[in-house]
Amino acid sequence: MNTRPVPIRGFTLIELLTVIAIIGILAALIFPTISKVRETAQRAVDANNLREVLKAAQIYAADNNDRLPDPAAIAALSPAPVSGGSGPFLWAGILAQRGILTDPTFYFAKNDPQFNGAYPAAIVDPANRGQLDSGFVTDRVLSLEFVGGLRMSDPPSTPVAFTRGLLATGTWSVDNGVYRDTGGYIAFLGGNVQFFPNVTEAASQLTLNNGRKGSSILQALPYSTNPAANPRVYATPPTGTGSLTGVAAEKAP
């Protein structure tokens, strides 16, 4: 009895091209969604990190006459409790030196274009806790800007730290912002951490030192006619408002 072989039918070229096109369309739809979810999740981590930094600063104040970290005051002490860096590094360094917040990862955001992906091993040198670790200060751009010279008695609406890149216009810099010009977080002395998208102009919702709402974070800080008594904003360049030596608060018009 003769049997005829059953032909094995494969995909035609048109069918293969159709399947490939469908996969391409699905990938184009799914990949941006996955990226957005990952970005949102990372921002939630950043918000939590900023909240912990704020808590650490408040704990420090409880043991230091209600004064939050102040790089200028730290550098002026002789001997300084922590040295080996300036401004923003001293702000973080004093918290680590006191054993309050020792994890350097809290000061870097994974989405930050200035972050190289490698976390430093420590904030202060494990062998000398009075010295900032070289890996923390060398060629590093912190993802936060800090306000030095605040007291716990200052208004609860006072900014303590915020995502790097906030400009006086109330928006984040497209060049220097951690999330470009999408927006950023601000941590306030009252304990709340809030994300401000650029479309709402973050600083336009800040309470200025004249009691009104305004657009400059420098004018949202306590102001004194004595220049030495004014808080200053510290940050690692490239930045939005602060600097390594600090930018002083301004009187709101």
Cβ neighbors of 167 (< 8 A, separation 6 or more) are 173, 240, 241
Asked if residue 154 is part of any domain, the answer here is: yes
Domain membership of residue 79 (yes or no) is: yes
93 DSSP assignment: H
Range of the domain at 113: 38-248
pLDDT digits (tens, 9 = 90+) for 146-166: 999 999 999 999 999 999 999
pTM as predicted: 0.85
Please check the confidence at residue 204 and state whether its pLDDT lies above 90.
no
Tokens of 96: 């680590």
Query: How large is the average pLDDT for residues 178-191?
Result: 94
Quick check: is 1 in a domain?
no
pLDDT in tens, 70-113: 999 999 998 999 999 999 999 999 999 999 999 999 999 999 99
Q: Is residue 184 part of a domain?
A: yes
pLDDT in tens, 45-59: 999 999 999 999 999
Whether residue 28 lies inside any domain: the answer is no
So what's the pLDDT on residue 200? 57
Cα three-residue angle 240-204-212, rounded to 5 degrees? 120
Structurally, the chain folds into a number of domains equal to 1
